[in-house]
Structure 1
Amino acid sequence: MKATWEKKEGNQGVLSVTVPAEKVDQAIDQAFKKVVKQVNIPGFRKGKVPRQIFEQRFGVEALYQDAVDILLPEAYGEAIEETGIKPVDQPEIDVTQIEKGKDLKFDATVTVQPEVELGEYKGLEIEKQNAELTDEELQEAIDHSLGHLAEMVIKEDGEVEEGDTVNIDFDGYVDGEQFEGGQAEGYDLEIGSGMFIPGFEEQLVGLKTGDEKDVKVTFPEEYHAEELAGKEATFKVKINEIKYKNVPELDDEIANELDSEADSVEEYKENLRKRLAEEKKVKAENDEKEEAINKAVNNASVDIPEAMINNELDRMMQEFAQRIQQSGLDLETYFQISGQDESQLREQMKDDAEERVKTNLTLTAIAEAEEIEATEEDVDKELEAMSTQFNISVEDIKKTLGNTDIVKGDVRVKKVIDLLLDKAKLVEPSKDDEEKSED
């Protein structure tokens, strides 16, 4: 077999393939064996028509399409391997010669993986992330954990405060008329949760059980109900009950409830500090890596074929469908609830899909430029790490994956990202950035 590749404009080219006559005749023979089973000719049992009679009746040309179907997959695959191209979409095939006793010739118009023009990816200035755990962050984590153990207690006397949960009746009016969805009885609302229209919850602070008040608010301009967007409204509200969170004090018993490996408050705090410190360290490193990736990708130039974006969109749609299935929905139900259809959702995802493709292409190009490969030892270490993380044996992981190509690719990408960060220049954040972080 002979194959030649001619690059055309953009990411397309023509793959010209010649298959030897010997293979063509073999394929025609296979085609006959397949077709003759379906042929009915008077005087012959089905499937027993002699080849000569068949060709006299129908012509050998009747076998050409089936022969092409037999030859094309293997010939196209071998041609790709021989020329070293990387197709990203199904080819357009044009058979230019098919005849018994002669070579098969066809041209395949192919869209291939684009070439990436790398920009700067070494020596990138990356903002150094703070990886030190503060006492304030530790206390916030403790308070958050204790909050999960809090019990709701009815406030017999006293006023509504931030963090309280109030049970209310409310009735909403716009221009003096009740509006649909603006009424409820016995509704529990946590003050400060931001669940209601801006300004609503704040006006309940200071009220007592049994109090009534006209709460005046303005619906946001971007409110989901267009007939209410930007409108002023008055809600007649009655406070039925006030409840507050009774947060337990941290003692040895509570510490053990929060962490079964801790027998005292001190042990609990120490274990928590170690865990949070490690989490913050990992997050800081991941944030630095993400910035390095983004800068390397932004510095690169590549003309991405639409087919690659569409393929990535297909993957993203599958991921999205799996996520909503975990919440008990399917795509059809989601579309009904959201008022969207698949084309609208794909359009929303398109920019992210293009960014994903560009990122993958850029990291692959850097790997090739730096001659970075994943060794068998690298793959084995990654499989061991996966085995520990998911509590599955390495052999079972291999069986599930079928082969380790995906793992090998992931390891290669990780090594590229490590290179980007290793070669980067870590700079301290500006004062403005620190103030924003604190805010």
Structure 2
Amino acid sequence: MFKHKHDKKHSVVVVSAIYKYDEFKTEFDKLVSQASSKIKVPGYRPGKAPKEQLLARIDYHSIENKIFSNFLDKNKNEIFKYLDDKKIKFLPVFSNVDIKDKKDKENKDLEIEVSLPTIPDFENIKFDDVKVKFELPKITKEDIEVEMSHFTSHLTKKTEVKEKDAKSQLHDTVNIDFKGFINNEPFEGGEASGYDLELGSNSFIAGFEDQLLNKKVGYKGDVKVKFPKNYFVKEYADKDAVFEVKINKIFRQDSVKVDDEMIKNIGIKNVSSLKDFEKYTSLKLNLEQLSRQLTNYVNEVIFEGYSKFDTKLNEIFFKERVNALRKDFEKRLESFGIKKREYITMLKSSEEEIEKEFVTLAEKEVAIEFVREAIMKDVKKSNDWETKYAKEFEILTNEDEAKNISLFLSMNESLLTKIGKDKESKELVTFISKKLKF
């Protein structure tokens, strides 16, 4: 009864089903009769007007659609079973319906083609040619000291620095005036007065905040940066910019004496001394950065492997993600009081280009999820992590969460090995066992 064509490259299967003409005609005549009986023509009771007037008012297109919809609803389970028997993984949704030969001569059976998204087999993706740099955390003693100071800062407040020779430090808030230029021309959105910027917040273009460290109040100078290649304003992307900056004020967290007695009262489980707090902070910083870098690395490797793979996801799989991204985008614009059309004009872009970016981002996010799930099927955690390291992680949190940290690292170690990144897998283990000095 059925036949199919499986387009693996575009992840869609087209199933053909035959609708016998006699069956179609019987159903068609029945629905036409039902529709005729309800049609009102001025001067006549419903369904009692001359036949030609009734037939002229019938929506035949709607009737045909209903017939085909009923046919597919009646046969969908058989179609699904047919695909199951053919060992084709599919999403049980008819993404497209096409009627063949409908306009051919009378008494000919109809061929109905239905398209269903198929679930790609990503288990065979190769990552041998994927080159992504794996960077491990490089946490310094200064980073640890700054974080310890920052952690205890909630016990104090920020006040204006009055000393004449005082220079700005990491986590200080500087009140600044700035004006940006590209090719010696000021650009829209690149100017502000009395702006409070926390140094180290990474809220400005990379390098901007660093150039304001070790500067005194009254400083005037140029800050030189480069917009990222993927900057949301395409006109500025990958371009050099110079900002004229003046520091009006510096605000700094009031100092607090950090000693064993104070550490006992900050409420961190298993931390009762300054030495414990230092170990806690070091471990926390290393694991947080490792988690980000490891996740980003694996995701980039996976997506590059997907990009080189012949098979791609059917767009139906990331349609909802596109809608979510669009809604989030519109909600953020609304929160800033910006109209969508004004924003698009400012970007010198178009609604189509922005929509294309949503699709690209959504496909990447969903593709990473699909591929990761496929290659993780037979990946097993190593018990070594739990026996060797979980206890050490308990300084950060409770026993269950410590095991979760171990599981995350264990699964990623195995995942790296599975995709042929043995070198990176060993580097991960070495980092945990030696760099953190367990």
TM-score by length of 1: 0.56
* Alignment check: 8 A CA contact 2:125 2:306 kept: no
The aligned residue for residue 111 of structure 2 is: 106
* Alignment check: 8 A CA contact 1:24 1:71 kept: no
The aligned residue for residue 406 of structure 2 is: none
User: How far 1:173 moved relative to its partner?
Assistant: 11
User: How far 1:268 moved relative to its partner?
Assistant: 7.9
Deviations 1:396-435 (A, max 9, x none): xxxxxxxxxxxxxxxxxxxx99985674566344999999
RMSD over aligned Cα, in angstroms?
A: 6.2
Deviations 1:187-220 (A, max 9, x none): 5555677859978985895646xxx66x343766
Q: Which amino acid aligns with 1:146?
A: T
Q: Which amino acid aligns with 1:427?
A: D
Q: Among residues 43, 66, 69, which one is paired with 1:73 in the alignment?
A: 69
Distance 1:135 1:424, change over 3 A: farther
Task: Report whether the alignment pairs 1:427 with 2:422.
Answer: yes
The aligned residue for residue 354 of structure 2 is: 345
* Alignment check: 8 A CA contact 2:19 2:112 kept: no
Distance 1:313 1:63 in 2: 32
Structure 1 gaps of 5+ residues are 371-415
Q: Share of identical aligned residues, percent? A: 16
Distance 1:120 1:20, change over 3 A: same
The aligned residue for residue 148 of structure 2 is: 142
The aligned residue for residue 248 of structure 1 is: 256
Deviations 1:352-372 (A, max 9, x none): 34445655665687799x8xx
The aligned residue for residue 387 of structure 1 is: none
The structure with the largest alpha-carbon Rg is 1
The aligned residue for residue 37 of structure 1 is: 38
User: How far 1:145 moved relative to its partner?
Assistant: 1.4
User: How far 1:136 moved relative to its partner?
Assistant: 7.7
Task: Report whether the alignment pairs 1:162 with 2:173.
Answer: no
Task: Report whether the alignment pairs 1:217 with 2:222.
Answer: yes
How many residue pairs end up in the alignment? 372
Mapping for residues 113-128 of structure 1, pairs under 5 Å = 113=118, 119=124
* Alignment check: 8 A CA contact 1:91 1:109 kept: yes
Distance 1:134 1:171 in 2: 34
Mapping for residues 293-332 of structure 1, pairs under 5 Å = 293-294=302-303, 297=306, 300-302=309-311, 304=312, 308-309=314-315, 312=318, 315-322=321-328, 325=331, 329=335
Distance 1:104 1:185, change over 3 A: closer
* Alignment check: 8 A CA contact 1:3 1:16 kept: yes
User: Secondary structure of the residue that 1:32 maps to in structure 2?
Assistant: helix
Deviations 1:95-115 (A, max 9, x none): 627999x78623337475386
Distance 1:118 1:167, change over 3 A: closer
Deviations 1:132-165 (A, max 9, x none): 9998876554333124444223334331313254
Deviations 1:34-88 (A, max 9, x none): 442123275x5225x3xxx765665699585444222212323425435427577
* Alignment check: 8 A CA contact 1:121 1:296 kept: yes
Q: Which amino acid aligns with 2:361?
A: D
Deviations 1:283-332 (A, max 9, x none): 68756764774476366421x48xx3477356324234236636853897
* Alignment check: 8 A CA contact 1:288 1:421 kept: no
The aligned residue for residue 46 of structure 1 is: 46
The aligned residue for residue 3 of structure 2 is: 4
Mapping for residues 220-239 of structure 1, pairs under 5 Å = none
Q: Which amino acid aligns with 1:40?
A: V
User: Secondary structure of the residue that 1:153 maps to in structure 2?
Assistant: strand
Q: Which amino acid aligns with 2:118?
A: Q
The aligned residue for residue 377 of structure 1 is: none
Distance 2:307 2:272 in 1: 51
Distance 1:189 1:330 in 2: 19
Distance 2:24 2:322 in 1: 42
Distance 1:281 1:232 in 2: 33
* Alignment check: 8 A CA contact 1:216 1:232 kept: no
* Alignment check: 8 A CA contact 1:309 1:353 kept: no
User: How far 1:221 moved relative to its partner?
Assistant: 7.3
Distance 1:111 1:424 in 2: 30
Distance 2:426 2:416 in 1: 23
User: Secondary structure of the residue that 2:352 maps to in structure 1?
Assistant: helix
Q: Which amino acid aligns with 1:46?
A: P
User: How far 1:30 moved relative to its partner?
Assistant: 3.8
The aligned residue for residue 392 of structure 2 is: none
Distance 1:200 1:349, change over 3 A: closer
User: How far 1:117 moved relative to its partner?
Assistant: 7.7
* Alignment check: 8 A CA contact 1:200 1:216 kept: no
User: Secondary structure of the residue that 1:160 maps to in structure 2?
Assistant: coil
Distance 1:247 1:91, change over 3 A: farther
TM-score by length of 2: 0.56
